[in-house]
Amino acid sequence: MNTEINGIIATYLLTVIIAFPLGKYLAKVFAGEKVWTDFLCPLESIIYKLSGINPKQQMNWKQHMKALLTINSVWLIYGFFVLIYQDKLPLNPDGNPGMTPDLSFNTIISFVVNCNLQHYSGETGVSYLTQHFVLMFLQFTSAATGIASAVVLFKAFREKSTTQLGNFWELFLKSITRLLLPLSLIVALILAFNGTPASYESKDQFVSMEGDTVDVSRGPAAQFVAIKHLGTNGGGFFGANSSHPLENPNYLTNMVEAISQMIIPMAMIIAFGYFIRKKKLAYTIYAVMTLGMFMLLVPSIIGETAGNPAIAALGVDQNHGAMEGKEVRFGAVATAYWSTITTIVSTGSVNGMHDSTMPLTGLWQLLGMMINSFFGGCGVGILNYFIYLIIAVFISGLMVGRTPEFLGHKVEAREVKIAALVTLLSPFLIMAGTALASFVLVSYPNADWAVKPANWLNNPGFHGFSEMLYEVTSANANNGSGFEGLGDNNIFWNVVTGVILFLGRFLPIIGPVAIAGLLGQKKYIPESAGTLKVDTITFSIMTLAVILVLNALSYFPALALGPIAEYFTLIK
Amino acid sequence: MKSYIFQSIRLTLVLLVLLCVIYPVSVAFVAKFSKGAGKGEQSFFNRKVVGYKAVGQSFSDPRYFWGRPSAVSYNAAGSAGSNKGPSNPDYLKEVKSRVDTLLKYHPYAERKDIPADLVTASGSGLDPNISVEAADLQVRRVAELRGFSLSQIQELVIENTEAPFLGFLGPRKVNVLQLNIALDQISTYHEN
C-alpha cells in the first residue's frame, strides 16, 4: 500500500512541477511575447492564409462569441453526418455500422462540447475514420475553444479599459499549435512505446493457452489517448476507457495520463496571473482550488482503500481495497486519485469503473462535477470559477455596503444578473433532468425504446437513482464519465443529455466572457482604501464559502437520495 | 457573419489535415520502432502466438493459475466492467459464490486468504494481472495437480512477480499469462 501512496504523491508533484512553467509560457504565447516555439510562425501563417483569416483583426467580446459559435456549428453539422454514414466511408476495417440519428446527435454534441459522454463502445460503435476525423479532431478543437474563450477573459483585464480583446482565430489556433499538438506528440509517443497500439491495423485473432479463439480490438489509440487527456476530453478509444490494458498499459502510462489531464487546467490559472500582471490573485485562486481538490481527494482514497464492508463481511481479505471495477496494475489508491481529478477537471476518463466505487466516493465524484471549477476543464474551469468570483464580489459588496468592484471595474446589475443566471443553470439542468428521468422510469417503464426504461438501471435501490443523477450531472458538467451500468443508448438519454450538454457548455462560456467584456470596457477606477481586495486570504475563504454554500443548497436533497442513502444502508 | 462561416469551413479543412492526417500518421510511423511495432505486444509459447502481453485471457483449468473474474469473459473484441454497485444484493451473492468456488478448489485455504481482486471483476474485463496474494493462494493447488513441489511453484511466482514501477511507485503484481507460460515451460521440461 505504501508504494501505492508514493505513486500518487509522485504523480501530483510532477503535475505541479510541469504546470507552473507551462502557465508562464502560455501567458507569453497569448500576450504575443517571444517564446521558443516561435519557429512555428510560418506554419501558422500558412494556415491563416489558407483559411482567409487576418489574425491581426481585433474583436470585441460579441464578435469572439459569434466566431466561436459559427465554427462550433460547422463541426456539429459535419460530424453528425459523418457518424451516421461511417459504415459507407473508408477506414472501417472492423466493418462497424453507422450510428442511429439520435446516437449521432448525442455523440457529436458530446464531443463538440468537450464532454465525451459516450453512449457507444469504441470497439463496435465507430470506425478508425470517425475515431480520428471526428472524435479526435474535436478533442483538439473543443479544448482549444475553451482555452481561447478563457484568454478572451484574460484580455479584458490586462489593460485598464479596453474593447480590443484579440482575434478569436489566433487564440484558437495558437492553443493547438503551441500547446495541444506538441504535447500530444510527446504523450502519444510515450504511450506507444509502452504498449498502446498506434497503427491502423484491424482486430487481431489468436488461440489462447486454453485453446479459445479470441479477437483483440486494436487501432490507432495512442494518438487519441494523448489528446483525450491533455484536452480534458476523456472519451475512450476502447469501451473501458483508460482501464483498458491497451489504452493504459502500465503504471508509468497511468501517471502520464493522470498528469496530462491536469497540467493545462492548472497552467491556465498561473497564466491568468502572469497575463493580467496580478500573480497574487492567481496564487490565491490556485490555493482555493487545491484546497477544494484535497477535500474531495483524501476521503476518496480513504474510502476506496478501506474496501467494501459488504465483501469484508464475507471474510475476504480487503488489504488491497475495493477492487470491483479496478485494475490490479493501478491499485485502489491510484484509481481513487484518478476518480477525483477526472471529476474536478472535467476530463471524464476513468481508469476504474465509477459505478462500482464506494457510495461516498461516488458522492465526491458527483460534487467534483457539480462544482466543476476546482481547476476544471481546459479553459472553462477558470470561466466557471470566475462566475463564483463575481457572486462572491457581489455578496461581499452587499456585506460592506459598497458598490462591488472587480479589478478596478464596477460590477453592476447587468453583470450580476448574468452571473446569477449561469449559477442557476446547473442546478436547474441537473435537477430537472434527473426528475424527468425518474418520472419516465416510473411512469413509462415499458416505453418501446432501444433500452426500455424498466431496464435502464444496472443496480437496484438508491444506487440506481445515483446512476441517473450521475449521468445528468456528468452531461451538465461536460465531464463525460458515467455510472456506466446505465442503459443510456436510447432516444430518451441521447436526446435529454444532448440538450443538457449543449446548454451546459455554451451558456457557461458566453456568460463569463460577456461579463468580462462588459467589465473591461467600463471606466477604470484606481484602487483606494475602500477597494475590496480580491487577492487576499479573507476573500479566498469568502469565495470558497460561496462555492460550498451554493452547491450544498442546490444539490443536497438529490445527493441525500442517492449516495448518502446508499452509504447508510451499507454500513448498517 | 458570412465571412465567419467561410473562415470556419476553411480552417476546419486545414486543421483536419494537420490533426487527423499529419499528426496520427507520424506517430504511427515512429511507433513502428517500439516493441510490438505499434500493434500491441504479443506473447509466444513454442513460437506460437498465445495472446497479448497486456491483455488478460481466461484460465479455468485448475492446472493453470486463474485470473480475475471478467464481465466480458475476457473477450477482447470488447471491454467493460460489471458496473455493479457496492450494495447490490445480486452482486454480493455472486461474490459469495465465487468465494465458495475458490474454497472448494483450495480446501487448505481460509476465507481471509482470499484477496479481494480474485473475487471481483476488473474495470476493463481484460485485467492481465492478479495480486501476489492471489497467486500465493493458488500455488499449492497448481503444484499438487502438476506434481511439483511447493517451493518450485512458489519460486516461479516470485520470478514472475513484477516490482512496483522504479521500485517504489504503485502496486506489485503478477501477470497471469506470463506465469502460465512459464508454468507450461517447466512442465514440458519436467515431463521429458
pLDDT, position A1: 64
CB contact under 8 A, A240 and B37: no
Block means of pLDDT (10 residues each) for chain A, length 572 residues? 93 98 98 96 97 96 97 97 96 94 97 96 95 97 97 94 94 98 98 96 94 94 97 96 97 98 97 96 97 98 96 94 97 97 96 97 97 95 97 93 90 96 96 97 94 95 96 96 94 96 96 96 89 92 96 96 95 78
User: How many residues are present in chain B?
Assistant: 192
pLDDT, position A527: 86
- Distance, CA of A170 to CA of A153 (rounded, Å): 15
Whether residue B47 lies within 8 A of chain A, CB to CB, comes out as: no
Q: Is A136 domain-assigned? A: yes
Strand positions, DSSP E, A191-233: 204-207, 213-216
For A300, phi and psi rounded to 5 degrees? -65, -45
Q: Mind telling me how many Å the CA of A463 is from chain B's nearest CA?
A: 7
Residue A319 structural domain: 2-200+216-571
CB contact under 8 A, A52 and B7: yes
Cell of A137: 479532431
Q: Mind telling me how many Å the CA of B144 is from chain A's nearest CA?
A: 19
Q: Is A524 domain-assigned? A: yes
- Distance, CA of B71 to CA of B84 (rounded, Å): 10
If one counts the domains in chain B, the total is: 2
Residues B97 and B130 in one domain: yes
Assess contact for A506 and A471: CB atoms under 8 A: no
**Radius of gyration of chain B from its Cα atoms, rounded to whole angstroms:** 23
- Distance, CA of A383 to CA of A143 (rounded, Å): 13
Give the single-character DSSP code of A210: T
- Distance, CA of B121 to CA of A506 (rounded, Å): 38
Distances (CA, A) of A312 to A460, B96, B172: 21, 11, 22
Furthest C-alpha separation in chain B: 81
CB contact under 8 A, B76 and A214: yes
- Distance, CA of B21 to CA of B18 (rounded, Å): 6
- Distance, CA of A384 to CA of B118 (rounded, Å): 43
Amino acid at position A205, single letter: Q
Instruction: Determine which of A327, A342, A365, A484 to mutate to test the interface with B (most B C-beta atoms within 10 Å).
Output: A327
| Parallel, antiparallel or unpaired: strands A409-410 and A405-406 | antiparallel
CB contact under 8 A, B31 and A198: yes
Residues B23 and B79 in one domain: no
Contacts of B98 in chain A (CB under 8 A): none
Nearest CA in chain A to B80: A240
- Distance, CA of A28 to CA of A17 (rounded, Å): 18
Task: Choose the closest CB to A356 out of B32, B86, B181.
Answer: B86
What ipTM was assigned to the predicted interfaces of this complex? 0.96
- The span from the first CA to the last CA of chain B, in angstroms, equals 81
Instruction: Determine which of B25, B103, B165, B185 to mutate to test the interface with A (most A C-beta atoms within 10 Å).
Output: B165
Q: Is A211 domain-assigned? A: no
CB contact under 8 A, A328 and B61: no
- The band of B192, judged by pLDDT with boundaries at 50, 70 and 90, is low
Q: Mind telling me how many Å the CA of B149 is from chain A's nearest CA?
A: 23
Residues B18 and B64 in one domain: no
CB contact under 8 A, A317 and B113: yes
Contacts of B64 in chain A (CB under 8 A): 209-210
CB contact under 8 A, A176 and B19: yes
CB contact under 8 A, B11 and A334: no
DSSP-assigned states of every residue in A418-470: HHHHHHHHHHHHHHHHHHHHHHHHHH-TT--SSS-GGG--SS-HHHHHHHHHH
pLDDT, position A509: 97
User: How many residues are present in chain A?
Assistant: 572
B48, β-bridge pairs: B45
Distances (CA, A) of A508 to A254, A342, A373, B60, B94: 31, 19, 12, 52, 44
Q: What is the mean pLDDT of residues B161-176?
A: 96
A410, β-bridge pairs: A405
Give the single-character DSSP code of B36: G
Task: Choose the closest CB to A240 out of B7, B36, B124.
Answer: B124
- Distance, CA of B73 to CA of B58 (rounded, Å): 7
Task: Choose the closest CB to B55 out of A71, A216, A351.
Answer: A216
Cell of A240: 473501458
Q: Which residue has the cell 460577456?
A: A514
Three-state secondary-structure class, residue A255: helix
Assess contact for A185 and A91: CB atoms under 8 A: no
Residues B11 and B81 in one domain: no
Instruction: Determine which of B19, B175, B180 to mutate to test the interface with A (most A C-beta atoms within 10 Å).
Output: B19
Q: What is the mean pLDDT of residues B49-53?
A: 95
Q: Mind telling me how many Å the CA of A245 is from chain B's nearest CA?
A: 6
Q: Which residue has the cell 452547491?
A: A551
Contacting residues for A407 by C-beta, under 8 A, at least 6 apart: A157, A276, A278, A281, A519, A534
Task: Choose the closest CB to B28 out of A47, A173, A200.
Answer: A200
Task: Choose the closest CB to B58 out of A74, A200, A210.
Answer: A210
Nearest CA in chain B to A358: B86
CB contact under 8 A, A218 and B40: yes
Assess contact for A336 and A322: CB atoms under 8 A: no
Residues B102 and B185 in one domain: yes
Q: Mind telling me how many Å the CA of B5 is from chain A's nearest CA?
A: 6
Assess contact for A408 and A160: CB atoms under 8 A: yes
Three-state secondary-structure class, residue B91: helix
Q: Is A405 domain-assigned? A: yes
Contacting residues for A452 by C-beta, under 8 A, at least 6 apart: A445, A446
- Distance, CA of A561 to CA of A441 (rounded, Å): 16
Residue B63 structural domain: 40-191
Q: Is A224 domain-assigned? A: yes
pLDDT, position B189: 76
- Tens-place pLDDT, residues B75-94: 999 999 999 999 999 999 99
Q: Is A207 domain-assigned? A: no
If one counts the domains in chain A, the total is: 1
Task: Choose the closest CB to B51 out of A208, A240, A244.
Answer: A208
Residues B9 and B87 in one domain: no
Contacts of A108 in chain B (CB under 8 A): none
Nearest CA in chain B to A195: B40
Assess contact for A7 and A334: CB atoms under 8 A: yes
- Distance, CA of A116 to CA of A140 (rounded, Å): 12
CB contact under 8 A, A320 and B171: yes
Contacts of A203 in chain B (CB under 8 A): 77
Alpha helices in B57-149 (DSSP H): 89-105, 132-146
Residues B21 and B87 in one domain: no
Nearest CA in chain A to B137: A317
Task: Choose the closest CB to B61 out of A195, A210, A460.
Answer: A210
A204, β-bridge pairs: A216
- Distance, CA of B116 to CA of B95 (rounded, Å): 10
Q: Is A548 domain-assigned? A: yes
Q: Mind telling me how many Å the CA of B150 is from chain A's nearest CA?
A: 23
Three-state secondary-structure class, residue A216: strand
Question: How many Cβ pairs within 8 Å bridge chains A and B?
Answer: 386
